[in-house]
Amino acid sequence: MLALSPLLLEHTLEIADQAGNFLVDFYTPSVQHDLTIQTKQDNTPVTSADLFLSQFLIEQLTALTPDVPILSEESCKIPLQDREHWAEYWLIDPLDGTQQFINRTDQFSILITLVQHNKPVLSITHAPILKTTYYAMQGFGAYKKQHNKIEKLNNQAQPQQRRIKIAVGVGGIAQKIQPLLNPNYQYEFLVYGSSGLKSGLVAEGICDCYVRIGKTGEWDTGAAEILLHEMGGSVFDFAFQPLTYNQRESFINPNFVMVANAEFDWQNIFQFNSH
C-alpha cells in the first residue's frame, strides 16, 4: 500500500502538469496535432487528445508506482472479478469534459485519483487552460492552485440566509432539477463544463452544491470525493447514500449531489422522495 506523503502528491502533480502541457498543445490551433473525434458506444465523444493523454498518464503513473493498477475511462474493460480484490488503484479521466474541449469553452480538466480500500484518498483536478488545479490528500487538506498562488480550501458557511447556488451541466438540467427542490428557498443556477471543475466551484464556495442528473463514471467523481471531504463537503446519491468505487460491474454512477457543507440539512432542500 502506498504511503500518503507530500512527495507522492508532488510527483503526481508533476505528472498532471506534464499532461496539461500536452493538452494545451492539442487545444492550440497553431500546434500541429491532428485532432480526430470519434463517437463511443454510449454516444459520447472521444478525441485523439483523450487517447493520447490516457496512454501518457498510464505510462507515467506506472513508472511512479509500478505495482499499482490503473483504471482509465479510455481503458476500463476490466471485469469486476479481476479488480474487486485491488487494495488500491489509480482512477483517471484523461479529459473530463471532452465536449467542452471540442466546443472550445476552456472548461475541461484532467482527473487523477488514488483509491485505497474503495475510498479516494488523493486527487488532482487540473485545468491547464484556466491555469487552475484543485488537489487534496487524506489528512492533508484541500487546495486550489491558480497562477502559482496556492489557497487552502475550508468549510463553507451554511447557505440558510441567502439563495442557494447550484452548479449544473448544460442541456436544460436546471429545469429538471427545479421540481426536486424545496420551494421555500431561493435558488440560483450556474451552468458550467467539466464535472471535475463543477466540484471545484463547490469546494471553493462559488457554489453551494452541484447536482447531476444523467450518466457519469466513477472516474468523473473520484477526484471530487476526497477534495470535498478534506474541506468539509460531501457527495451523495438521490437516496442520500455515498457513491461506491470498484464494487460493481458497472462504473456508471447514479444521479448525485456534491455539497460544500456536509453539516447543512440537505434532506430539507432536496425533495427526491416525493418524485
- Annotated binding site for Mg(2+), which residues? 73, 93, 95-96, 220
Give yes or no: residues 258 and 222 share one domain: yes
**Given this model, what pLDDT does residue 31 score?**
59
- Annotated binding site for substrate, which residues? 73, 95-98, 220
How many structural domains are present in the chain? 2
Q: Is residue 159 part of a domain?
A: no
Residue 12 sits in which domain range?
A: 6-153
Q: Is residue 137 part of a domain?
A: yes
**Given this model, what pLDDT does residue 29 score?**
74
Give yes or no: residues 176 and 270 share one domain: yes
Give yes or no: residues 34 and 60 share one domain: yes
CATH code, 11:
3.30.540.10
Give yes or no: residues 96 and 183 share one domain: no
Give yes or no: residues 68 and 198 share one domain: no
pTM, rounded to two decimals: 0.94
Residue 75 to residue 221: CA distance in whole angstroms: 17
Q: Is residue 231 part of a domain?
A: yes
Give yes or no: residues 47 and 75 share one domain: yes
- Annotated binding site, which residues? 73, 93, 95-98, 220
Report mean pLDDT in 10-residue bins for the chain, 275 residues.
97 98 88 71 79 95 97 86 95 94 94 98 97 98 95 80 88 86 93 94 95 94 98 96 96 96 94 74
48-64 helix and 6-27 helix, angle to the nearest 10 degrees: 160
* 8, amino acid identity: L
Residues 129, 91, 194, 151: what is their CA dihedral angle, to the nearest 10 degrees?
-60
Q: Is residue 158 part of a domain?
A: no
Give yes or no: residues 237 and 121 share one domain: no
User: Which residues on adjacent β-strands are paired with residue 164?
Assistant: 187
Give yes or no: residues 41 and 119 share one domain: yes
Give yes or no: residues 138 and 10 share one domain: yes
